Chains A and B, each alone.
Chain A
Amino acid sequence: MDEISLIQSAQKGDLDSFNTLILHYQDSVFNTAVRILGDDDLAEDAAQEAFISAFRSISTFRGGSFKAWIMRTVTNACYDELRRQKRRPTTALEPETSDGEEMDSPKWMADPSMTPAEKSEADELEHAIQHCLEALPTDFRTVVVLADIQGMDYSEVAIISNVPLGTIKSRLARARLRLRECLRGFEELLPASFRLEGESIL
């Protein structure tokens, strides 16, 4: 069954059709959520909330890109989660080793306050990038996640973010600029082909 038929069935209340759509988009949705929120558990909750909310409001879908529509829902769910976190800030407890000592996670190692020696221990590029993403303002992070990580085009990102195309261009440029500066601090983690050349741009 094609996507349009599935959407139409879901709009009539057919949950099975909607679940087929979920199976198709759940990886993208979860990936977006985890890159925006930076936490697997929160991303899982946001993704689930997004799908529930999407099913309840699927009658409002009036055509166009369903992926953009579902991404907008998950983006909103992530914003809600971030707002909730701001209201009730929590400090995550680091997992402990079998010896009862705190386990050093790469994310913590990538903290700006860490020493060069600790930095060298952060050998996961992914965590370094995630750290840099989390350092971005939420609006910038969302745009860069959608455009560069999810590979969506500007117009889709504009629909999802509900801002004009010009704003998307501007946010994306600023986000890339900040990421470039941030990744410069993890130069040693980057493969040789990804080494950044220039000095400070601005």
Chain B
Amino acid sequence: MKNFHEIELLSSYLDGQLNITEAARLEARLVSDPELASVLNDLRTTRNILRKLPARKAPRNFTLTRKMVGLKPPLPRSYPIFRFSTAFATILLVLTFAANSILPRISFGAAAPAMASEYGTGGGGGCEEPCGEAFGLATEAPAATEAPAATEAPAATEAPVPQITLQATSEESLREGELPADSLQAPKEGESTTADEPGSNTIIPIAWQIGLLVIIALSGLMMWAMRRSASRKWQ
């Protein structure tokens, strides 16, 4: 019976893994210890049996296909440019739609109800930009300095401006009597001219949006053609 350390030494000796000193010491022991020599012989026989085991050949080829490894055809170098342009144009298009639909409401939506209530005309929906201009026309003399400011920065200053001008006009109308009638006519004319223009409420022109659409379509088409051509070449 041998302890495991000796078995490990014999196994390593069998594979030539012992250094010269260790190997010499073990060889000396092997000469004097027949049991140890017998164990070494058994280990050698076991190793030889394993080495004689017939090598199994692969039953088929394990070569890989592109599909197996999820490879995609190599795309041309210009492909990323088209991909970027499509993505960028799409983002811009979405932004233009958002700007055209949201910004006019933010700028003029707050001013309209206030003006409508002060006038008492009840035309809140149509009284947006033209009304502001009309007030400017109606109050040329008293509010000459305030009206331009209202048109330059509509969102911030328009709400208070009409109130001031309206008060001024109502006081003057009491004195002069004729001015309010003119001031009410002027907005009507202004309304009719500005409201008739198509897309007058859009901040970004429709032509730009069409241009972006064209870029998206062309880039997408190019990407599709490149992918198709690459996959054909690959096959």
Report yes or no: B43 in contact with A180, Cβ–Cβ below 8 A.
yes
Report yes or no: A183 in contact with B49, Cβ–Cβ below 8 A.
yes
Report yes or no: A26 in contact with B51, Cβ–Cβ below 8 A.
no
Expressed in whole angstroms, the Cα–Cα distance for A26 and B55 within the complex equals 12
Q: List, in ascending order, chain A residues with CB within 8 A of B52's CB.
A: 194
Q: A194-B45, A197-B41 are in contact. Are A202 and B69 (CB under 8 A)?
A: no
Identify which of A15, A34, A148, A197 contacts B50 (C-beta below 8 A): A148
A residues 11-68 touching B (CB-CB < 8 Å): 13, 15, 18-19, 22-23, 26-27, 29-31, 34-35, 40, 44, 47-48, 51-52, 55-56
Closest A residue by C-beta to B2: A201
Expressed in whole angstroms, the Cα–Cα distance for A190 and B130 within the complex equals 108
Report yes or no: B11 in contact with A55, Cβ–Cβ below 8 A.
no
Report yes or no: B12 in contact with A149, Cβ–Cβ below 8 A.
no
Instruction: Please report the number of residue pairs spanning A and B whose Cβ atoms sit closer than 8 angstroms.
Output: 125
Question: Any chain A CB within 8 A of the CB of B1?
Answer: yes
Report yes or no: A154 in contact with B69, Cβ–Cβ below 8 A.
no
Is chain A's binding surface mostly helix, strand, loop or mixed? Answer: helix
Q: List, in ascending order, chain A residues with CB within 8 A of B4's CB.
A: 173-174, 202
Q: A26-B62, A52-B64, A201-B39 are in contact. Are A169 and B11 (CB under 8 A)?
A: yes
Question: Any chain B CB within 8 A of the CB of A172?
Answer: yes
Report yes or no: A129 in contact with B50, Cβ–Cβ below 8 A.
yes
Expressed in whole angstroms, the Cα–Cα distance for A47 and B39 within the complex equals 36
Expressed in whole angstroms, the Cα–Cα distance for A70 and B1 within the complex equals 40
Report yes or no: B43 in contact with A31, Cβ–Cβ below 8 A.
no
Identify which of A15, A47, A51 contacts B71 (C-beta below 8 A): A15
- Residues of B within 8 A of A (CB-CB), count: 42
Q: Mark B185-206, 1 if CB is under 8 A from A, else 0.
A: 0000000000000000000000
A residues 149-202 touching B (CB-CB < 8 Å): 149, 151, 154, 169-170, 172-174, 176-177, 179-180, 183, 190, 194-198, 200-202
Expressed in whole angstroms, the Cα–Cα distance for A132 and B183 within the complex equals 109
Expressed in whole angstroms, the Cα–Cα distance for A196 and B45 within the complex equals 7
Expressed in whole angstroms, the Cα–Cα distance for A169 and B16 within the complex equals 11
Q: List, in ascending order, chain A residues with CB within 8 A of B63's CB.
A: 19, 22-23
Report yes or no: B47 in contact with A176, Cβ–Cβ below 8 A.
yes
Question: Any chain B CB within 8 A of the CB of A121?
Answer: no
Interface residues of B, Cβ cutoff 8 Å to A: 1-4, 7-8, 10-12, 15, 17, 35, 38-39, 41-43, 45-66, 68-69, 71
With A47-B58, A179-B50, A190-B49 known, 12 other A-B pairs at CB within 8 A are: A15-B69, A23-B61, A26-B62, A29-B62, A30-B62, A129-B50, A129-B53, A154-B17, A169-B8, A173-B4, A195-B45, A202-B2
> Could you write out 14 A-B pairs with CB less than 8 Å apart?
A15-B69, A22-B62, A30-B58, A34-B56, A35-B53, A51-B64, A129-B49, A129-B50, A173-B11, A173-B12, A180-B43, A194-B48, A201-B1, A202-B1
Interface residues of A, Cβ cutoff 8 Å to B: 13, 15, 18-19, 22-23, 26-27, 29-31, 34-35, 40, 44, 47-48, 51-52, 55-56, 125-126, 129, 144, 147-149, 151, 154, 169-170, 172-174, 176-177, 179-180, 183, 190, 194-198, 200-202
